[in-house]
Structure 1
Amino acid sequence: MKLHDQVKFAVKALMSRKLRSSLTLLGILVGVVLLTSVFTMADSIAATTTKVLVRGGATHIFLMPHGFTLTDADRTQIESIPHVVSTVAYLQLGTLAVSSGGVKETASIIVVEPQGISSVYPGIEVEDGSLDITFRGCLIGSNLYQEFSNQGVKLSIGDLIHVHFGKRAIPLRVSGILERYGFSFAGGRIDDAVIVPMDLMYTVVGRGEYRFLLVVVDSVDHVDLVVDTLKDLYGENLDMFVVKDLVKQVLSAMDWITMIVGSIASVALVVAAIGLMNAMFTAVAERTRIIGVLRALGARRRHILSIFILEASILGIMGVALGVVIGFAAGAFIVSFTRGLGMGMGGAPVGISVYLSPLHLAVSVLIPLALTILGALPPAYRASKLEPAQALRYE
């Protein structure tokens, strides 16, 4: 028998028992969908987390003292630690009233040293103006800018706004309108905020006192060393948020989730392979006489084996092709709910980009196909071993 005859025979056999073939295909499909969707979600989160790390957070350590404030002397000592490049002081003053042109809105007030804005908020960009804020300059978050616009006040560079501290109204000039950014590791959403220079902080807390301090390390490899040194200096009195550690935890958690759900999907695939084996054994029993006729007409054992392997392969290829597409779409659909939540670190809110790694794509394709063929081997081998005379006498 030629190969195209074997393929034609296999397809005709599958079409002759559509319900059984459909149920077998469904079993394969479910396993592949589960496997591909979880791989898509895990890879998407891992890729985005890595992107956030690369965009500037990898070498950042955020310091939050409790029970005391860091002083200029502390800052000098921290900057003297080997591998520390710089420190940047910043502060979140909470939500305050902001007014301009007779319109009053509420906004988060973020105070930061002008030279350190890009360190605290990596990737920050202005839609208009510049990041260079003077003593009485400020940056307006994109959402806050839109809220004022909706009220009929179109803020422009150089316009005057007032930040209200109780009964005090501090005038500030708009230096820049920020592009959308999203949530930041430094805390807060700068899209809803006004960023003001450190000079304003001195009207709230004493000069030379720091409630929050960002430490920038020269390399990811030296972050742990700097953290250990800070622990030796301040012990439990200093809380530290290390971006690198957070990313490790996220990736580790995703590995566990992938392993657990992947195991469930693998069980589903094994069950599908067993179901396929059962269906193929039934097919062998039903087609024993046909096998006998083929053998009597000159078909070799390998031709019979090939026909049944081809049947399983066709089901496997269809199940894998549909399963990968549906699984990727399902994973992308779930991931789409996170879009706009953001993880900060620059530009528009990061959201989670849909991604499936080549390795996981290969696993989603090859493992189900291998299990399908393995499931078909026993009944195919049994069919190939039937003697023509015995098969023709089968009732």
Structure 2
Amino acid sequence: MNKLVVGNLVHRPLRSLISALAVAIEVIMILSIVAIMLGMLNGQRVRTNGIGGDVIAKPGTASNLIGVSGAPASVKVGPILAKLPHVQVAAPVYIQLTTSGGRVENIFGIEYESYNALKPFVFLEGGPFTGPGDIIIDDIASHSDKGYHVGDHMKLLGREFRVSGVVEHGKGGRKFIPMETINAINGTDNRCSLFYLKTEDPPKWQNAVRDEVHATEGMQQWDVQTLEEVLSQMTPEKYPAFNIGLSVVITIAVVIGFLVIFQSMYTAVMERTREIGILKSLGASKAYIVGIVLRESGLLALCGIAIGVAITYLLRAFLAAKMPQLEFEVTAAWVAKAAGIALVGAIFGALYPALKASAKDPIDALAYE
């Protein structure tokens, strides 16, 4: 039977190739959308974890989505937070979402001394700000586009900045500018988005610090979360749009794979009416005929899955070289899920043609011209 299945597919190479490519596109669509979404979420988790703060405090009216909360807090609250028991550092951060250069990214406005005290920057080139027109970038941002080094100039938020330092990635944002500069750009006065707090002996004193913040005059309604609580919210389950978008893409991909396999197998059955009649006249059962068609579709699906996974990994390598700031995360779990979805879709697409082939009357099939 296996030789017959392979022979049938090889006999029609163009149709077989198109069917396999359709399944490959299905796999690529699923893996790509998942890789981009997971890359964004997990990349944000890693960078947030690398800042060095273990408690995050912000006014209760601020959004939980980092980068879209604006600047609801006053920088002057920083010294008050820093004087609370068990708080070692209170670093204000102004997070500005921008779409400059065709990409979405968060620009961090920081007070260098307090932000660096959370966890020191590791400089690969240059050093801290020397003026309000300086910018610090990480190594990934440095290698993007044309490449930036200390002393180069880049345009950001409608202004030109001089690169004062290049640091290792993983400390919040990829680009950092002085707090007073980002306030001047946005027309705000000593405002920030949130405060990162570094506490003594975390997690021992984190709950105590939360209570101390809420006991401070005017801060009873502030949202105070531990780093673990914040990171636990950066999962696909916490972002409804993630699951909706993923469901839409998977549905479209499955429909494409289903229809192409259905059309391919249905046409193949119609063209092989006489062959099916010969097989049935030689004693082939209905299950045998169904098995041939399903094996053909399964083999096509497996070839398409292999092509799709290979192209996805090639796409990841290409994006890593050309767009290092785009996190594209392909996981083994989702490779397995995409393969299963594609295979099941292909089998269901071939089921009706298989049943139709098995139901043919051998006398009518042999008489077919």
Which of the five TM-score ranges fits, normalised by the shorter chain?
0.5 to 0.7
Partner of 1:66: 74
Structure 1 residue 58, shift from structure 2 partner: 6.2
Q: Secondary structure at the match of 1:61?
A: strand
Superposition RMSD on alpha carbons, in Å?
4.6
Residues 138-173 of structure 1: CA deviation (Å, up to 9, x unaligned): xxx899xx748x9xxxxxxxxxxxxxxxxxxxxxxx
Match of 2:197 in 1: 215
Q: Is the aligned partner of 1:112 residue 2:86? A: no
Give the counterpart letter for 1:230 in structure 2: V
C-alpha displacement of 1:337: 5.4
Aligned residue among 267, 281, 300 for 1:282: 267
Alpha-carbon separation, structure 2, partners of 1:239 and 1:337: 42
Following the alignment from structure 1 to structure 2, what is the Cα–Cα distance between the partners of residues 31 and 223?
A: 47
**Does the Cα contact within 8 Å between 2:47 and 2:171 map onto a contact in 1?**
no
Q: Is residue 88 of structure 2 the alignment partner of residue 87 of structure 1?
A: yes
For the residue of structure 1 that corresponds to 2:269, the secondary structure is: helix
Give the alignment partner of residue 314 of structure 1, picking from 299, 304, 313: 299
TM-score (norm 1): 0.59
* CA positional deviation for 1:376: 1.0
Q: Percentage identity across aligned positions?
A: 22
SS where residue 198 of structure 2 aligns?
A: strand
- Measure, in 1, the Cα distance between the counterparts of 2:255 and 2:197: 51
Alignment CA distance shift 1:8-1:147 (3 Å): same
Which segments of 5 or more consecutive residues in structure 1 lack a partner in the other structure?
1-5, 93-107, 129-140, 151-177, 193-211, 341-350
Q: Distance in 2 between matches of 1:221 and 1:293?
A: 79
- The count of aligned residue pairs is 300
What pairs up with 1:234-273 in 2 under 5 angstroms? 234-235=217-218, 247=231, 251-252=235-236, 256-257=241-242, 259-273=244-258
User: How far is 1:360 from its partner?
Assistant: 1.0
**Which amino acid is the alignment partner of residue 343 of structure 2?**
L
Task: Indicate if the aligned counterparts of 1:35 and 1:266 stay in contact, CA closer than 8 A.
Answer: no
* Secondary structure, counterpart of 1:383 in structure 2: helix
Distance in 2, matches of 1:46 and 1:7, equals 44
Would you say 1:373 and 2:347 are equivalent positions? yes
Residues 1:18 and 2:3 aligned together: no
CA shift in 2, pair 1:390/1:246, >3 Å: same
| Alignment partners' CA distance in 1, 2:198 and 2:335 | 38
- Secondary structure of 2:368's partner? coil
Assess if the C-alpha contact under 8 Å between 1:35 and 1:262 holds in 2: no
Q: How does 1:312-391 map to 2 (within 5 A)?
A: 312-334=297-319, 339=324, 352=327, 354-391=328-365
Q: How does 1:148-297 map to 2 (within 5 A)?
A: 180-182=167-169, 184-185=171-172, 189=176, 214-217=196-199, 219=202, 226-227=209-210, 230-231=213-214, 233-235=216-218, 247=231, 251-252=235-236, 256-257=241-242, 259-297=244-282
| CA-CA distance at 1:362 after TM superposition | 1.1
1:380 Cα offset (Å) = 1.1
Alpha-carbon distance in structure 2 between the residues aligned to 1:392 and 1:269? 36
Distance of 2:205 and 2:23 partners within structure 1: 48
Match of 2:101 in 1: none
Deviation at 1:182, TM superposition (A): 4.2
**SS of structure 2 residue aligned to 1:394:** coil
CA distance, structure 2, for counterparts of residue 326 and residue 12 of structure 1: 26
Alpha-carbon distance, 1:377 to partner: 1.5
SS of aligned partner of 2:324: coil
Stretches of structure 2 that go unaligned for 5 or more consecutive residues are: 59-71, 94-108, 126-135, 139-148, 153-164, 179-193
Query: What is the one-letter code of the residue matched to 1:216?
Result: K
Matching residue's letter, 2:38: D
Once the two structures are TM-superposed, the CA of residue 389 in structure 1 deviates from its matched residue by 2.1
Whether the 8 Å contact between 1:292 and 1:392 is mirrored in structure 2 is yes
- The amino acid across from 1:394 in the alignment is Y
Does 2:27 match 1:32? yes
Contact 1:88–1:120 at 8 Å: present in 2 too?
yes
Query: 2: distance between equivalents of 1:334 and 1:186?
Result: 20
Q: Does the CA-based 8 Å contact 1:60-1:215 persist in structure 2?
A: yes
After superposition, the Cα gap between the structure-2 partners of 1:271 and 1:33, relative to the gap in structure 1 and judged at 3 Å, is: same
Distance 2:265 2:358 in 1: 13
Q: Is the 8 A contact 1:41 1:331 kept in 2?
A: no
Structure 1 counterpart of 2:46, one-letter code: K
For the structure 1 residues 278 and 187, does the alpha-carbon distance in structure 2 shift closer, same or farther, using more than 3 Å as the test?
closer
